[in-house]
Structure 1
Amino acid sequence: MTDSREKKISHISDHASGKGFSARIVNTSAVIDKLPIGVMVIGKTDTGLVETIFINSFARNIFAIPSTFEVPCQIETIWGANDAVALKNQVFEAFSSSMPSYFEWSILSGGMERHINSQLIPLSDHEGQVTQVICTLEDQTAEKMAEKNLLHHAFHDALTGLPNRVLFRSKLEEAVSEFKSGEAIDGIGCAVLIINIDRFQQINESFGHSAGDRFLVSMAATLRRCIRSSDTLARLSGDEFAVLVSKCRDLEELCMIGERIHDAMRMPYDLDGNEVFTSVSIGVATTLSSAMHPEDLIRDADFAMHSAKTAGKARTEIYKRETHRRAQSQFHLETELRRAVERDDLELHYQPIIDLKTMKLKGFEALTRWVHKDKGFVSPAEFIPLAEETGVIVDLGRWAMRTACSQIRSWIDTYGEEKAVPVNVNVSGIQFARDDVAAMIRETIEEFGIRGEMIRIELTESAIMANPTRISEVLTEIRKLGVKVALDDFGTGYSSLNYLHQFPIDIIKIDRSFIAQLRKGNELYKILTMISQLANSLGHEVVAEGIEDIEHQGMLRDMNFQFVQGFYYSKPLPAKDAGDLHSGNVPWIKS
């Protein structure tokens, strides 16, 4: 067998170096055997079959071929017919084409899949007939495994092993494309569920981030059990997961998935021996309710999830276009409100406060008005809550205080100090929390050179309740400036009477809802009579808001109320019209 093998190698050497090199046959065989690359020599039998006539040591190591395995032999005897078919096909092609070629193939060897890069070099005789083919073998298994691991990490979350946002989006693109092409089953096509853990930050703060990570791994396992095998679960970010339901029939099916998840969340988690209860907020968007773009589906499901949180958490919300349009409109309105404050596009209107005994002007309440260049009049009921939610209220409050003080200065310069009246400016609880209100008022009245008595601030009970201690301290500082404090919407909260002696308050303003229901001798009449007596005994001024007819005026006068305001006397007026009232002309005195 050895002689036959060396004769075959001699033939290779003849082709490589000429007949004169044949004396070094054994040395050439030894060199090839020591190469750091696998080499096989493949020839043809007389019957036309291909056979392996030489395998060097490197190739034997790659495929765990024992040294006792003898050649020549058919390729199938080394690996088996199924595994050798790729190589055999390429060898036959090399024999027939006489052209070198490169190819990649894989084979099971030693209990694992080997990835091989091969080059086939045909060797021809003097007549040009291919008699043998040299096959080089480079083991790329380690590189392929590293590439596979790299791809896995690129598309999977390192903590939970779930698909990450990139892979989730890719799968979503496929599902949407299938739905668009009409290949999806009848129904609503595909859907996205965005799942956010409620109060996850509390777990991190209570038990540490390492425990939080273990909780997320458990959470991933729980969510897997709640979805179908055909659905895709992914982790998009810290405490946010997503589910792709590629084929669903109706919304009820999606709601059932949500219910299974909520039911699972009701069970406690064992976190380092501690029972942890949590919940999730789920948003759902489908290819019918949302746009037909993957990113839009994710965005809309995320919007629905935040709607679920706003509605109280631990619930599932289905995305609705109308709700989203309103939210987008609010977003644009917020941007325009910020610009309006910056550009001084807002106005203060002034509603008169009337002395009920003399029917003379006592003061004004300054009310912000916004006339949008496209939308027209924007109700304060729409933009004030938006300003408070977004924090714009701080700049808006500062603008209102500056504008009011500037207007007071103008009225003093025009009508004289003796005819000028105080102006009430509303201050939001958000501004008390985020701004130094006392310093802001002091700087503003000093800038315009007006006495503190010319400004009165109004705040609501909800503003006080947000931070009673802080508010009390700030109000005390404000009163030192000579500024009086009015408690607005009095009677609408639970503790209004307590505030009269607990906080530095000078004025109480009875909410308009009381006046609207006021009838001679009814329960409200008795309550308001008591409040008037109590306020007067404590030395507080009392203002009744929302007066709209003469009957209310008469009853309030009988109850010994001091001051009133409302549409019966005047709507809020632009600064010029309000200024005309300083002349003593009082149009609310009806004949």
Structure 2
Amino acid sequence: MGMVSMGQDITQRVQTEALLRESEERLRTVLQNMPVMMSAFDNQGTLIVWNRECERVTGYLASEIVGNPNALELLYPNPEYRAEIVAQWQNSNHHYRDWECQITCKDGNLKIVAWSSIASDFPIPNWAFWDIGVDVTHRKQIEDQLRYSAYYDALTGLPNRTFFLEQLQHAINKQQTEERELFAVLFLDLDRFEMVKYTFGHAIANQLLRLATERLRECLSPTDILSRVGTDQFAILLNPVENTAEVTHRTECIHQAISLPFHLNNQDIFSSVSIGIALSSTGYTHPEDYLQAADSAMHQAKTSYSTRHVLFDPKIHEILLARLQMETELRRAIEQDAFEVYYQPIVCLQAGIISGFEALVRWNHPTWGRVSPVEFIPVAEEARLISLIDRWVLQAACHQLRKWQQDFPHLDYLTMSVNISGQQLMQLGLLERLDGVLQETGISGNQLKLEITESVIMENTASETVLLNQLRTLGIQLSIDDFGTGYSSLGRLHQLPIDTLKIDRSFVNRMETDSEGYEIVRAILTLAHSLEMDAIAEGIETSQQLVQLRELGCNYGQGYFFSPPMNSTEAAALLAANRRW
């Protein structure tokens, strides 16, 4: 009986082993044809299953991987990363675990595989655990692209506003726990970007942004963050900083970097940057508040003539509210034609008679009363309303000149000077509009003088020079306003189609008491006459200034000594009086 029982046991064991081998072969066959990656390891960590999907994804055949003691080195060449993978498998023991890894394929390419590791209790002897994997490389690439689009700017490659605010929140949190950790938020606006875009097109403007980005990067430390938060606006997180002096110094470095010429479209283009600064000492807890504070300070810097950057102060918010209210009222005034043109006579100094007038816009608000141009002109420029005001003044002044020509036929030599902003100068259709005004009012082109500030005309591009020459073909005269205030490029002055230099009032006012002021006026007059240009002295207030200017051979003058700006009725009365000086 014992022999029979032993024989039966052997038979059963053989049958069981046969069934197990058959089951294992069926399982291997199933695994080989699964549409997902299937691999299995034995208790010694050797690969014993590598199906066709694994071969397809990695390029390694089963014959190269199964049983190969160096299989992991082939798939994960980096030893540190390979150690992490082994740790993942060890952590998978006795339970399921989902994880991802980066496999090095046979051709050297990298692919990302999402694995589910199933641990030991497996019906096949010596199978420690097995993995089910899916190639998610394409999905990861799409996710990375979406993540990049969500956090980065495609044009410059910089982090965007969303990313910046998240990093700023981290800095705020750290500053709250480590009070000595200070930071600063800078908000930057690239000046003259719109002019470049409208003059040269979007491609050149985009190139300007990329070049500006490179220069800004060079000004930063490794821990700082630079972000593009608007069309031509950037934000910088300086983190950490020692004190306000460091922030100011680094801000000056940024100004210097951007002020260097950009070589675009085969010529040098100059730009600058307005910067607002918000320090962590402000104590805000939300990143949006810091960005808004720095933005507010930047707008203050943009409208200031005395500084290129402004440190945020809570009072700035009140100033901006007032500015916003003024912008609203300006828009209403434009819609309702609520402006008025005043006229200041321009006198021929040698003959002592009125040769023309300068048209000056005035605004009498129904509630605020008379608003100074010093207050509303900068707001109009920032809000891009100045070209609309300029256009209205131009038309009204030309109509008025035509009326005076009709009322005083013997004064047919009178001219009208009208200021034109840089915004209007770069607008399309300017030449056609000016020609239309001349045709409509019936005055000739040589009776109209356009006054352009020195800062605008001296930074003009080649295309703007062409436009100025086209204006000359209409007979229109061109004057440089406020000449001598520091923007001029004397080497280029002779290349520009300019008829008149207007000497800034600050030099004329100093002539009596300051020999330097006198010499500056003399030098400007010498320059003008050598270039066959006329000169107009602004701000004449005393008889002594008039005597000095006549001695120096100045052609024309204007100022309160002759008359303040007047409305059209008062100006007509002055013409009728035939006043001489």
Of 429, 437, 448, the residue aligned with 1:444 is 437
> Partner residue of 1:369?
362
> Partner residue of 1:96?
none
Shift of 1:359: 7.3
Asked whether the equivalents of residues 6 and 25 of structure 1 are also in contact (C-alpha less than 8 Å), the reply is no
Give CA-to-partner distance per residue, 1:554-585, whole Å, 9 cap, x none: 77788898865432443212234434445539
Partner Cα distance (1:501, 1:246) in 2: 47
Alpha carbons of structure 1 residues 308 and 147: separation in structure 2 relative to 1, 3 Å: farther
AA aligned opposite 1:370: W
Alpha carbons of structure 1 residues 336 and 536: separation in structure 2 relative to 1, 3 Å: same
AA aligned opposite 1:447: E
> Partner residue of 2:264?
none
> Partner residue of 2:416?
424
> Partner residue of 2:473?
477
Asked whether the equivalents of residues 186 and 249 of structure 1 are also in contact (C-alpha less than 8 Å), the reply is no
Asked whether the equivalents of residues 155 and 167 of structure 1 are also in contact (C-alpha less than 8 Å), the reply is no
Check if 1:349 corresponds to 2:342: yes
Give CA-to-partner distance per residue, 1:304-327, whole Å, 9 cap, x none: 89999999xxxx978534797578
Asked whether the equivalents of residues 542 and 561 of structure 2 are also in contact (C-alpha less than 8 Å), the reply is yes
> Partner residue of 2:312?
320
Asked whether the equivalents of residues 192 and 284 of structure 1 are also in contact (C-alpha less than 8 Å), the reply is yes
Give CA-to-partner distance per residue, 1:95-153, whole Å, 9 cap, x none: xxxxxxxx535699999999654789x99xxxxxxxxxx9996524644x766666555
Alpha carbons of structure 1 residues 557 and 465: separation in structure 2 relative to 1, 3 Å: closer
Partner Cα distance (1:158, 1:489) in 2: 41
Shift of 1:173: 3.2
Partner Cα distance (2:280, 2:560) in 1: 51
Q: Give the structure-1-normalised TM-score.
A: 0.54
Shift of 1:421: 7.8
> Partner residue of 2:172?
176
Of 375, 391, 395, the residue aligned with 1:402 is 395
AA aligned opposite 2:287: P
Alpha carbons of structure 1 residues 340 and 447: separation in structure 2 relative to 1, 3 Å: same
> Partner residue of 1:35?
30
Give CA-to-partner distance per residue, 1:288-345, whole Å, 9 cap, x none: 348533345456668989999999xxxx978534797578877886786566556533
Alpha carbons of structure 1 residues 176 and 375: separation in structure 2 relative to 1, 3 Å: farther
Partner Cα distance (1:532, 1:491) in 2: 11
Alpha carbons of structure 1 residues 516 and 187: separation in structure 2 relative to 1, 3 Å: same
Partner Cα distance (1:454, 1:393) in 2: 23
Asked whether the equivalents of residues 34 and 56 of structure 1 are also in contact (C-alpha less than 8 Å), the reply is no
Shift of 1:404: 0.7
RMSD (CA atoms) = 7.3
Shift of 1:548: 3.0
Give CA-to-partner distance per residue, 1:364-398, whole Å, 9 cap, x none: 32112234567654443455567678875544433
Partner Cα distance (1:546, 1:502) in 2: 25
Asked whether the equivalents of residues 92 and 117 of structure 2 are also in contact (C-alpha less than 8 Å), the reply is no
AA aligned opposite 2:441: F
Give CA-to-partner distance per residue, 1:153-194, whole Å, 9 cap, x none: 5546799xx995455544443443565xx4x11235555578
Give CA-to-partner distance per residue, 1:13-56, whole Å, 9 cap, x none: xxxxxxxxxx988766654454337799xxxxxxxxxx9xxx99
AA aligned opposite 2:397: A
Shift of 1:352: 3.2
Asked whether the equivalents of residues 452 and 480 of structure 2 are also in contact (C-alpha less than 8 Å), the reply is yes
> Partner residue of 1:185?
178
Partner Cα distance (1:560, 1:258) in 2: 46
AA aligned opposite 1:448: T
Alpha carbons of structure 1 residues 372 and 147: separation in structure 2 relative to 1, 3 Å: farther
AA aligned opposite 1:426: V
Asked whether the equivalents of residues 394 and 435 of structure 1 are also in contact (C-alpha less than 8 Å), the reply is no
Partner Cα distance (1:39, 1:527) in 2: 89
Q: Secondary structure at the match of 1:344?
A: coil
> Partner residue of 1:517?
510
Q: Secondary structure at the match of 1:35?
A: helix
Shift of 1:518: 4.3
Alpha carbons of structure 1 residues 580 and 421: separation in structure 2 relative to 1, 3 Å: farther
Partner Cα distance (2:239, 2:547) in 1: 70
> Partner residue of 2:71?
none
Unaligned runs of 5+ in 2: 1-8, 55-61, 69-84, 105-110, 197-202, 256-272
Q: Give the structure-2-normalised TM-score.
A: 0.54
Query: 1:33-432 alignment to 2 at 5 Å?
Result: 34-36=29-31, 87-88=93-94, 104-105=97-98, 116-117=115-116, 139-140=132-133, 142-143=135-136, 154-155=146-147, 164-165=159-160, 169-177=165-173, 179=175, 182=176, 184-187=177-180, 191=184, 226-227=221-222, 231=223, 250=243, 285-289=278-282, 291-297=284-290, 320-321=312-313, 340-341=333-334, 343-353=336-346, 363-371=356-364, 377-381=370-374, 384=377, 393-411=386-404, 415=407, 417-418=409-410, 422-428=414-420, 430=422, 431=424
AA aligned opposite 1:548: E
Moved more, 508-517 or 352-361: 352-361
AA aligned opposite 2:390: G
> Partner residue of 1:73?
none
Asked whether the equivalents of residues 510 and 545 of structure 1 are also in contact (C-alpha less than 8 Å), the reply is yes
Q: Secondary structure at the match of 1:288?
A: helix
> Partner residue of 1:15?
none
Alpha carbons of structure 1 residues 323 and 404: separation in structure 2 relative to 1, 3 Å: same
Partner Cα distance (1:419, 1:110) in 2: 91
Partner Cα distance (1:258, 1:319) in 2: 11
Q: Secondary structure at the match of 2:172?
A: helix
Partner Cα distance (2:470, 2:504) in 1: 24
Q: Secondary structure at the match of 2:391?
A: helix
AA aligned opposite 1:400: V
AA aligned opposite 1:573: M
Q: Secondary structure at the match of 1:400?
A: helix
Asked whether the equivalents of residues 348 and 366 of structure 1 are also in contact (C-alpha less than 8 Å), the reply is yes
Alpha carbons of structure 1 residues 245 and 521: separation in structure 2 relative to 1, 3 Å: closer
Alpha carbons of structure 1 residues 556 and 28: separation in structure 2 relative to 1, 3 Å: closer
Asked whether the equivalents of residues 187 and 250 of structure 1 are also in contact (C-alpha less than 8 Å), the reply is no
Which of the pair has more CA radius of gyration?
1
Asked whether the equivalents of residues 340 and 346 of structure 1 are also in contact (C-alpha less than 8 Å), the reply is yes
Shift of 1:348: 1.1
Partner Cα distance (2:282, 2:497) in 1: 52
Partner Cα distance (1:288, 1:323) in 2: 16
Moved more, 249-258 or 361-370: 249-258
Asked whether the equivalents of residues 421 and 454 of structure 1 are also in contact (C-alpha less than 8 Å), the reply is yes
How high is the sequence identity, in percent, across the aligned residues? 27
Shift of 1:447: 0.6
Partner Cα distance (1:341, 1:298) in 2: 32
> Partner residue of 2:107?
none
